[in-house]
Amino acid sequence: MASSRRDQAVRAAVRHGLLSPDEPVVALLDTDGIRASAAALTSAFASVTDAPVLHAFAVKAAPLVPVLRLLYEAGLGVEVASPGELALARAAGVPPTRTVLDSPAKTPAELRQALALGIAVNADNLQELARLDALVASAPTASPLGLRVNPQVGAGSIGALSTATATSKFGVALRDEGAREAVVQAYLERPWLTRLHTHTGSQGVPLALMAEGVGAAYALAEEINTKAGRQQIDTLDIGGGLPVNFASDEETPTYAEYAALLASTVPGLFDGRYALVTEFGRSLLAKHGTVLARVEYTKTSGGRAIAVTHAGVQLATRTVYAPESWPLRILAYDAEGRPRGRAEAAGGPEQDAALEVVVDVVQDVAGPACFAGDLLAVGRSLPLLRPGDLVAVPDTGAYYFAHHYAYNSLPRPAVHGFTPTEDGGIAFATVRRAQTLDEIVAEAGGDRPDVLLRAAPPGGPMGA
């Protein structure tokens, strides 16, 4: 997200009442930034190949129907990994021909639905291929079908997001004894198997390792096609995984850099013989989302300043539980949404306002949950936060506020998209309204408070 648009949006969110003492946390999405990332992705691959490319956004990164619709209108499809994600994609109007189903645990019902709709399916393992044998034989399908392989090229800096390790749960491990031969034979026995899929990982995985994984899949496709005596595999799904820079507003690495690296290391990938599928997620959305929260109280403990805010583990779960892998920036604003200790965005309406002189203070930024580890930042140097101030947490457009963690039954915040207007203002559109307390109660079985009493009468067996 461009910093100037973010500053304008924060100020406007306060003015519009999107953030208030009664609504102390909100999420903002920069729609212009999302469109720009989609355009950067499509142009990067268009510059290295004339072959068809389906850029399938990984729905898990931001499972919000209006976001999926925005990306579809920008030329992208979707990659789904569950019935829920498929339902979201269909609600967004994404057609089956622009949809790819990946999952390591697809049920027969999921597979039947995908085949009936004509959705592309990547099987995860040889047992799933055997299941597809029966389904394909029982009814015709327009679904392109493929198999995911694990090139076992190694891990990045975050093990949980490295999917091409020796023992990864995903795909058929190509370097295991006899596995490569089994994969080749599986293709030769199934002329309807026309795709090959791989994905090396995401955050923390260097581009060179990603390219090595793609190269391994390409080499396997070439081997299969040679042994088949024809081009049986016509599409390579190279996954996604472009890392995101969480240290600044700079968008790096870029799609153009990755496409250029692939063109230099796996040139045959782009010679027109293979259609391509990508499955980027985090890199399309992360830089274009911001969590905005009020500072409720401030205190000191052991000489350390602490600001207690309304944004914590319920929104930034990964950061709270694994802060070394997922550090986030914190930006300070005053109660009216003006940046504290730095100049407001050029062209803003408050340019004549005097900039306060502040000295940064080392402090912790805490969330609202009732456990000690609920901290967005520890020992961070910031203008000393005051009750009523605002903290903005940038780079949270993917895997943060869209994935609510209901600790302490804290409600899901509202999500608003924003767009600059011609008159220099900001227009907001509600992507998802804030969760109500009644909805929290309903999800917790609030309509059946006595059901366990009826199921277990005193002195009687369960269900008697």
pLDDT of 79 strictly over 80: yes
What gap in Å lies between CA 73 and CA 55, rounded to an integer?
12
Which of 263-272 are b and which e, b meaning 16 or more Cβ less than 10 Å from the residue's Cβ? beebeebbee
For residue 197, the cross-strand partners are 148, 237
What gap in Å lies between CA 369 and CA 74, rounded to an integer?
38
What gap in Å lies between CA 313 and CA 371, rounded to an integer?
10
β-pairing, 235-237 with 275-278? parallel
pLDDT of 274 strictly over 50: yes
Work out the average pLDDT over 59-64.
98
Q: What is the pLDDT of residue 3?
A: 80
pLDDT of 314 strictly over 80: yes
pLDDT of 459 strictly over 90: no
Q: What is the pLDDT of residue 348?
A: 47
Q: What is the pLDDT of residue 157?
A: 77
pLDDT of 88 strictly over 50: yes
pLDDT of 165 strictly over 80: no
The whole model's pTM is what? 0.93
278: left (phi over 0), alpha (psi -120 to 50) or beta: beta
Q: Which residue has the higher pLDDT, 250 or 162?
A: 250
pLDDT band at 107 (very low <50, low <70, confident <90, very high): very high
Annotate 378-401 with DSSP letters as a single string.
EEEEEE---TT-EEEEES-TTTTT
Q: What's the pLDDT tens digit per position in 318-350?
A: 999 999 999 999 999 999 999 998 655 444 444
Contact present, 393 and 375 (Cβ < 8 Å): no
- Nearby residues of 183 by Cβ (< 8 Å), 6 or more positions away: 126, 147, 149, 172, 174, 220, 224
The type of residue at 342 is R
β-pairing, 414-420 with 25-30? parallel
Q: What's the pLDDT tens digit per position in 298-310?
A: 999 999 999 999 9
Average pLDDT, the chain: 93
pLDDT band at 353 (very low <50, low <70, confident <90, very high): very low
Q: What is the pLDDT of residue 341?
A: 82
Work out the average pLDDT over 260-285.
97
| Of 411, 402, 399, residue with least CA distance to 322 | 399
Work out the average pLDDT over 191-202.
93
pLDDT band at 416 (very low <50, low <70, confident <90, very high): very high
Work out the average pLDDT over 275-291.
97
Q: What is the pLDDT of residue 346?
A: 43
